[in-house]
């Protein structure tokens, strides 16, 4: 199947689908730093394009004759704690749906944060998918049950043209692990630390984690332990000056990027791309499920 990845970022979703055997023929993205990073890691083209210009996007993407379109429109407006006002970025979810309806590939996969599901933008996108004739399987996946040592919940909408809704629900759930993957499960004893600090959004949340649990969601920022960190009753151990803080490359590995993935950009930009990405193993899990469903349905 010919696959096009939209809002491709540094390539987490692309790499997972490629690992699952899909032929990515092109990717589209607006941010030049992410484009430069993506180019270093793939052979197919990545096109710099503002996908909010849906009419022109449809023409450009159509030229690659995709059987499947995949993509994770930006999600900050859904994921910002406290402020759930939907703005321009949320509208890109609707743009994604308009692009699908304008091209009508055999199938598509859309990835986003779990609360997308209840957003107005997704309600609009959903009705565009339905009007275009897609059956939808909508599911929230916990990455730690999909081969990734990280509690990261992501909403997936998998659409196939002229199918009944929920066609892939069992295929997804049957593949889930019974137990969350911990950092020790994934890395063995190679990490060299037992506990680490992950800066919380606010001090109502804990910040110290053990490698015997899945990591919390890797976000787009990475900070050292601040001087005034007050501690939290659920921290896995008390904070001390020797407490490990995850490095950029450890965060990329927890996002299940391979160790030889090439990271291009400033430290801040790379941290952002890592936090934005779909964990490669979660993407591969989704890509494998798509294969299974397509094979079973002779599609």
- Asked if 108 touches ligand SAM (CB under 6 A), the answer is no
Task: Report the C-alpha gap between 144 and 40 in whole angstroms.
Answer: 28
Residue 37 annotated as catalytic: no
DSSP-based helix, strand, coil % in the chain, nearest 5: 40, 20, 45
| Helices within 134-279 (DSSP H only) | 169-175, 183-187, 248-254, 267-276
Stretch that binds ligand SAM, among 28-36, 59-67, 207-215, 284-292 (CB under 6 A): 28-36
- Asked if 270 touches ligand SAM (CB under 6 A), the answer is no
Nearer to ligand SAM, 122 or 196 (CB): 122
Using CB under 6 A, pick the residue from 8, 125, 160, 282 that binds ligand SAM: 8
- Asked if 274 touches ligand SAM (CB under 6 A), the answer is no
Stretch that binds ligand SAM, among 9-17, 130-138, 152-160, 290-298 (CB under 6 A): 9-17
How many C-alpha atoms does 191 have within 13 Å on its Cβ side? 23
E strand or H helix that includes residue 4 = strand 2-6
Lookup result for tokens 């730690």? 144
Using CB under 6 A, pick the residue from 1, 7, 98, 186 that binds ligand SAM: 7
How many C-alpha atoms does 52 have within 13 Å on its Cβ side? 8
CB of 186 to ligand SAM, least distance (A): 19
| Positions that interact with ligand SAM (CB under 6 A) | 7-13, 29-31, 34, 50-52, 72, 74-75, 92, 276-278
Active site residues: 75
């Amino acid at each position: 199947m010919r696959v096009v990845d939209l809002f491709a970022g540094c390539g987490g979703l692309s790499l997972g689908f490629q690992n699952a055997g899909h032929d990515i023929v092109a990717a589209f993205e607006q941010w030049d730093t992410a484009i430069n990073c993506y180019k270093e890691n793939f052979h197919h083209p990545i096109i710099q394009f503002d996908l909010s210009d849906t009419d022109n996007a449809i023409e450009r993407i159509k030229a690659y004759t995709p059987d499947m379109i995949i993509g994770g429109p930006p999600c900050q407006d859904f994921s910002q704690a406290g402020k759930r006002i939907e703005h321009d970025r949320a509208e890109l979810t609707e743009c994604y749906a308009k692009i699908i309806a304008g091209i009508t590939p055999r199938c598509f996969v859309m990835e986003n944060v779990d609360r997308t599901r209840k957003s107005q933008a997704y309600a609009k996108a959903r009705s565009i998918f339905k009007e275009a004739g897609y059956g939808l399987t909508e599911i929230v996946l916990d990455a730690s049950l999909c081969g990734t040592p990280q509690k990261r919940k992501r909403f997936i909408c998998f659409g196939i043209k002229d199918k009944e809704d929920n066609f892939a629900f069992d295929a997804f759930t049957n593949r889930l692990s019974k137990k969350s993957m911990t950092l020790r499960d994934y890395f063995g004893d190679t990490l060299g630390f037992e506990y680490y600090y992950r800066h919380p959004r606010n001090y109502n949340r804990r910040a110290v984690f053990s490698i015997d649990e899945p990591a919390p969601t890797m976000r787009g920022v990475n900070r050292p332990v601040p001087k005034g960190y007050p501690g939290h009753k659920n921290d896995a151990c008390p904070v001390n000056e020797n407490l490990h803080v995850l490095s950029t490359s450890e965060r990329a590995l927890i996002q299940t990027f391979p160790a030889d993935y090439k990271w291009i950009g400033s430290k801040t930009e790379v941290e952002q791309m890592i936090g934005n990405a779909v964990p490669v193993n979660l993407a591969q899990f989704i890509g494998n499920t798509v294969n299974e469903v397509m094979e079973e349905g002779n599609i």
